[in-house]
Every structure is written in C-alpha cells, then in structure tokens.
Structure 1
Amino acid sequence: MSAFASLSHRQQGLLLTGGGALTMAPDALLIKVADLPDAEILMWRGFLSALGFLLIALLRYGRGTLAAYRRCGWTGIAVALLFSLTTCGFVLGNQYTKAGNVLMILASSPLIAAGLSWVILKERLPRRTWLAICFCMVGIAMIALDDAGAGSWVGNGFALMAATTLAINFTLCRTRPGVDMSPMLVFNGLIVGSVAGLFWLSGSEPSFPAVNQLAVVILLCLIIVPCGVTLLQRGPLYLPSAEVGLLILLEVVVGTLLAWWILGEQPAPMALVGGTLVLGTLFAKGLYERRLELRQRAVTGAALQHPDERVKTL
C-alpha cells in the first residue's frame, strides 16, 4: 500500500487541495517575471498548458481517455470556453495591475458562484452567504478604487472577469455531479493558444522569447498550471466546499506575499484593507461552516449510536 493510500479520506483531500493551492501560488509572480507581451504569454500558456493537461489525462485514464471526454458532453465544451475567458482575464489582469490585486479579486469567485447558484440553480442561500458576498464586493471595490490610474482599472476589470467566469464554471460543473471536467481543459489551452497566436502573428515583428523567459514560461505553463489545477480539481471529491475554499486561500495569501517580496509590489493602504476584508470574510465564513459541519456530524453520529434512546425521548 502506498503512503498516500494509507491516509484517511480527509487527509488525502487536504494533501491534494493544499498541494494544488501551493503549487499555483507562484502563478501570478511568474507571469510578471516572464515579462512577455499580452498575446505572446497567452499563446505560450495556452499551447503548453494544453499539452500538460493532455499528458495528465493520459496518465490518469490511459485507454479510457476518450471515454472520459465523452462523459463531459456539451457541458464540458462550455467549461472549456469559460475557462478560456478565465485564463485570459487572469493573465491580462496581471499584465495591467498588481499581482496581489488580481489574486484578491479572484478569491471572491466562490461567493460569486454562490450568487449564481441562487439565480441559476434556484438554491436558497443562508444569510451568512449574502453578508459575505456584500463584504467581499466592498473589498473588491476598495482594491479597484485605490489604484485607478495607469491602466489598473483595465487590470482589475480583467481580474473580475476571471473571477466571474470561474464562478460560472463552478456553477455549471455542479449541474453534472460526479463527472470529471478536468480533461476538457486541454481544449481551453488550444482555444487560448490559437486565438492569441493569431494576434501574435499579426503583430509588427513577432519574435521568440529569450532563453531565460522561455524557461520561466515552460516551468509555469507546462508544469505548474496543469499540475496545480488538476490537484485543485480533485479536492472537492474528498472535502466539503467550505474546507476547499479555505485551502484555496493559501494560493492567494502565498502568491500575494511572493509578489510583494520578490517584485516589491507594496500594496497601497486602501488595497491592503480591501484585500484583508475579502480574505478575512472568506476565512471567517469557511471556518464557521466547518464548525457547523462538525456539529452536524456529531449530532448524526450520536443519533446512529443510540437509536433506542432517541425513540424513548419521542
């Protein structure tokens, strides 16, 4: 038995989700370090991540890879298109504003997904979710308003587009429970790479990146992004959504700290307050829901262990 298989179901989920969040933490930083034009970085990210996702799908499913794609159906195609917009929003957001701003805005996607579930899936949302949505929207507004000059409005807009399309993606995936949509991310990479490649070729003087830039791009797009996203995709199969949301905050916190430390992107006061409001709200909500879940498990377990006593009380 492998060391991973010997872990409990919950421990496996913590390892997969936490590992995925930490793997994705340098994403925004490496986009900045690569320092490539918009179309070029999107082209490389698209094609290389498509190759990485395909290799992972082949390793996971082997001869059943085609069957895994068929199971996704038309929903999988929509997922690929939406994730293409998420990729463009995330990459272009980092091109025009601070990495920390992009990560903090992206952290709001689970709450946007909750709102969309209320509209699309007719799910009733508890009061705490509505309060969290309001607090996060205030925090995002503070981040956007703090640094409104020098094109950062554009960057914040792209980041919000990434968060929104990712939230729609989450909601759409919930309409097909039990179906793994991660193989469709290959098509996301091909879509992004092809469209960006056309813009790159139509440029005045298309050129290849320097060796050091290419090394950063290969590390990020061929290894980090496919591995990190695949690990995160597996998390909800092992853990409740509240815990997954808490662990994904690791990417935001660690990624922001890396950008501040290595790039010297010091946050302005209002952006720092807004980001703290977003992360603090998400953390408090996730922690509260985790406690509710543990309390419910305890009540259910007690009822199962002592059914006779429960009957007597009735």
Structure 2
Amino acid sequence: MKLTHTRAVFLMVAVTLMWSIAGVITRHLEHARSFEVTFWRSFFTVLSLLVILPFFQGRQVFAKIRTGGWPLWLSGLCWSVMFTAFMVALTLTSVASVLVTMALGPFLTALIARIAIGHRIPARTWLAILAAGAGIAYMYGVQIEAGRFTGTLVALCVPLAAGVNWTINQRAHAHGNRVDLVPAVLVGAAISSVLTLPLAMPLQASAHDVALLGLLGLVQLAIPCVLAVLCARVLHAPEMSLLGLLEVIFGILLAWLGAGEVPRPAVLTGGALVIGALVVNELVGWRQRV
C-alpha cells in the first residue's frame, strides 16, 4: 500500500481514533474484569493478526517470526507488557489518567535510549522532560492523596515498555538486524494472552463482554497497529508523535460523552503540561530540521 503524505496524515488520525475507543468500551463491560479483559482482547488480536498479516505480507510473515531472533522476541515481550498493563490500568483508574500517563512515552523513550545506547538528548528535550515530569508529579500527587494511585502506576508500565521496545529496535538496527514491528505485535499479543489466561480464571465474561473485547482486539488493536506501521513509512517521527497525541484527546472525549466519565481537574492540569511539553518539543525540533 503506497500512501501520499496527506493520506498518511488522515490515516494516522483514523488510527488514533481507533486506538481511543478502548476506554469507553471497557466502561460498558458487564462482568469481565482485570486480567480477563486483557486476555480476551489479546486473544482476539492474535486471531485478527493471523488473518490480516498474511494478507499484507504473505506467508513470509511467519518466517520472519521464526528467524527474527532475540530482538523480535524481546520486542514482542515489550508489546505484551504494553497490552497487559494498558487494559489492567483501565480497570483500576480513569481513562484520562491512563492516556495522559501514556503521553510520557516519547520522553521516557529518550531517557532510556540515553542510558542504554548513549543517544544524545537535545537541551530542548531536557526542558520538555522536566515540564512533563512536573505535570505527571502533580497528577500523581493528587491521586495519592485520593487513594487512586495504583492504576496510574500500572499505566506507567506502558510508556516504559514502549521506550525499551524502541531502544531494542534501534540497537538491533545499528547492528544490521532490523526488527519488523508488525510480527512483533503478533508475538506480543500471543504472549499476553497466554500469560494472562491463568490469571483470568475463572472466566466470567458474558457474551456481551466477549463481543466488545473481540471488537477491541480487531478494531482497536490489530487493524490500527498495522496501519500505523504503514503511516510510519511516510511520516516523520515528530509527525507521528504529534498525531499520536490525538488518542489522548479522542479517548478522554469518548469516555466523557460515551460513559459519563468526567476528567478530574488534576488530570487536565497535569495532562496539559505533558502534552504542551511534547507539542513544543516536537515543533521546535521539526523546525530546526527543516
């Protein structure tokens, strides 16, 4: 699939909209909770990708998994942490808190890459990290006082795993072993479903819940992950980062309108600092490169 820049932008907007439906849908589950929610979504993601990936990449996709080596499997493990932590966090705290915490991803990635592979961090990014850190510290502080800290702490595992994943890919690429992210997503979903099944027992999801979680596996995860990889081949990293922030906005709005979950003032204030820092950092970096 060949995309023009304009089509890639619109497609990435559609991707973020698909990503953002997880929060509002989990608020309409009847009986499924915690690890069972993760299991069913990961399980249906595996089924979906087993159909989608051969369509896009042919049967060679399975050969890539067999020959991908340790970078692909470590990347898959990171994806499994992201899938699991995200859904568990949604069952423990508000959608807004989870999404704002995930917006830390680019900054945590920069820090992990600096420590692990010596990737240089510009001064503007250090300032942005401090501003974003202040926003998250404020949001976390208020939640600790209110006794709602656990879910946000679990959500922090998502951007941490994403940062490790990116660093693994960068290190592998530097050594001539480029990791195909799409098969790694399949590996991650498979690991997540296998590891969470025992924790999900006894399964209590109703047919209604299974249908909604099947929808998440296909529409919220499998399809947009494949499309995002296609967009990344056309769009620059700053564009991907900025467009990715739409997931935070869409997700909070959908949870507000679709489930009556009004974001707390502390989350909005902290989120404004995090997102503002990311936007300014990416725009300045983009302008310097142009």
Fold similarity call, TM over 0.5: yes
Matched residue SS, 1:175: helix
CA distance in 2, matches of 1:278, 1:171: 22
Structure 1 residue 208 displacement after superposition: 4.4
Residue 24 (structure 1) aligned to one of 19, 23, 31 = 19
- Look up the SS of the partner of 1:33 in the other structure: coil
How far 1:218 moved relative to its partner?
Answer: 1.2
Q: Confirm or deny: 8 A CA contact 1:20 1:230 kept in the other structure.
A: no
Out of 99, 105, 114, the position equivalent to 1:103 is 99
Contact 1:96 1:151 (8 Å CA) reproduced: no
Deviation of the 1:91 alpha carbon? 0.9
Which residue number corresponds to residue 193 of structure 1?
Answer: 193
Question: Is residue 114 of structure 1 aligned with residue 110 of structure 2?
Answer: yes
Q: Tell me how far apart the structure 2 counterparts of residues 255 and 15 of structure 1 sit (CA, whole Å).
A: 18
The 5 A counterparts of 1:22-171 are: 22-35=17-30, 36-70=32-66, 72-148=68-144, 152-171=148-167
What stretches of structure 1 of length at least 5 have no aligned partner?
Answer: 295-314
**Mean CA deviation greater in 45-54 or 172-181:** 172-181
Counterpart-to-counterpart distance in 2, 1:231 and 1:96:
29
Indicate how the Cα distance of structure 1 residues 149 and 211 shifts in structure 2: closer, same or farther if over 3 A, else same: farther
CA shift at 1:270, angstroms? 2.0
Number of the residue aligned with 1:181: 181
Counterpart Cα distance in 2 of 1:261 and 1:149: 27
Q: 1:150, CA displacement in angstroms? A: 6.5
Partners of 2:219 and 2:35 in 1: how far apart? 20
Q: Could you tell me whether the CA contact under 8 Å between 2:79 and 2:184 is conserved in 1?
A: no
- Separation (CA, whole Å) in 1 of partners of 2:260 and 2:141: 21
Q: Which moved more, 1:152-161 or 1:66-75?
A: 66-75
* SS of equivalent to 2:171: coil
- Structure 1 CA distance, aligned partners of 2:103 and 2:207? 33
Q: Residue 242 of structure 1: which of 238, 244, 257 is its match?
A: 238
Structure 2: stretches of 5+ with no match in the other structure: none
The number of aligned residues is 285
Q: Which has the larger radius of gyration?
A: 1
**Superposition map of 1:221-232 within 5 A:** 221-232=217-228
Determine if contact 2:72/2:180 at 8 Å carries over to the other structure.
no
Residues 1:252 and 2:248 are matched in the alignment? yes
CA drift of 1:17 comes to 2.5
